[in-house]
Amino acid sequence: MNSFQLLIEALAVRFLHITHYELDYRWQQSQRTLRHSVLWFVQQGSFQLEINQVSFRCKEGHILILPGDCVISSHAISDQIKLVSINFDAHISFVSHQSWAQLLNVPLLLEGDSIPIQSILTEMLGHARDTAPFVYLLQQSCLLRILYELLRKGITDDTSGAYSQLDKRIHMIIHYLHAHPNRMPEMKELAELVQLSESHVRKLFIKQTGQAPLHFVHHIKIEQAKKQLASTVKAISQISYELGIDNANYFSRLFKAKTGLTPLQYRQQYGLWLNE
């Protein structure tokens, strides 16, 4: 598993609601802070949009990704505007301090003509007023399909620009952890790797990820453990050892502290079972 794949697999997405808006020349909003991530698809008209003080001229066919906590201002240019708006929550579990869109280097504006999402939006809008509880599963799956298309188009095969918002020294540590999965590095080792003092490494991690360095390392180890627990039948003690944790009891306590489940409970819920 490479670093980019780890970020994608740690991306948690939750659909909230979808709304179709018909607006006129009077539409405007100023310095609005978004509580959730929002996707807009412009069906008709044009408007000026500012996202965190960066301006965009939006028109028919454009797709906009508005990350949670961003500040937006907008005003109509055309007499009529029609747009579809999807509200959703999204975050990357072990780097929740930063926007998922920034970490994955998702463009804020894309041309919709080259991304096949209109049929998906039509399907979602057709169920927008459906109150059946299982419709949420349909809407969630449609949202994931849209994000798949956006990421595939926006990032293509070049993942070198992904997670560009992270400091290059954090990149180095992530790559090191993947290259040496059987290592559980101490602070001294991390500091030597990036050629900083231990106190500077600690400050860098808290600023960039909102976590102390070893907590960040633990999160990555837990993500690696989840994959092995769900996709292999290796003994838990073996998984612990392969991740650089010699004490399987400590590994189990750490896993439960991060996930709320013991490794065995996680495997029972998400792992292979036909060969039991």
pLDDT in tens, 131-178: 888 999 999 999 999 999 888 876 654 444 444 567 778 878 877 887
Tell which wins on pLDDT, 251 or 6. Answer: 251
Tell which wins on pLDDT, 92 or 236. Answer: 236
pLDDT at 276 (0 to 100): 52
Structural domains in the chain? 3-155 (2.60.120.280), 168-270 (1.10.10.60)
Alpha helix segments (H runs only) across the chain? 3-9, 100-103, 118-126, 135-155, 168-179, 187-194, 198-209, 213-231, 236-242, 248-259, 263-270
Please say whether the beta carbons of 62 and 29 come within 8 A: no
223 CB-contact burial (10 Å; exposed 0-12 / middle 13-18 / buried 19+): middle
Tell which wins on pLDDT, 10 or 264. Answer: 264
CA distance 208 to 258: 20
Three-class SS state of 55: strand
Q: CB atoms < 10 A from the CB of 127, how many?
A: 15
Average pLDDT over residues 107-128: 86
pLDDT of 14 > 90? The answer is yes
Tell which wins on pLDDT, 133 or 65. Answer: 65
Tell which wins on pLDDT, 7 or 47. Answer: 47
Q: Which residues pair with 64 in a beta bridge?
A: 40, 109
pLDDT at 161 (0 to 100): 45
Cα of 14 vs its chain's centroid, Å: 11
Please say whether the beta carbons of 21 and 82 come within 8 A: yes
pLDDT band at 2 (very low <50, low <70, confident <90, very high): low
Of 32, 27, 26, 58, whose CA–CA distance to 45 is shortest? Answer: 58
pLDDT at 93 (0 to 100): 73
CA distance 84 to 122: 10
- As a whole-number percent, the residues of the chain with pLDDT over 70 amount to 91
pLDDT at 178 (0 to 100): 77
Please say whether the beta carbons of 90 and 38 come within 8 A: no
Tell which wins on pLDDT, 209 or 52. Answer: 52
pLDDT at 160 (0 to 100): 45
pLDDT in tens, 130-143: 988 899 999 999 99
Three-class SS state of 271: coil
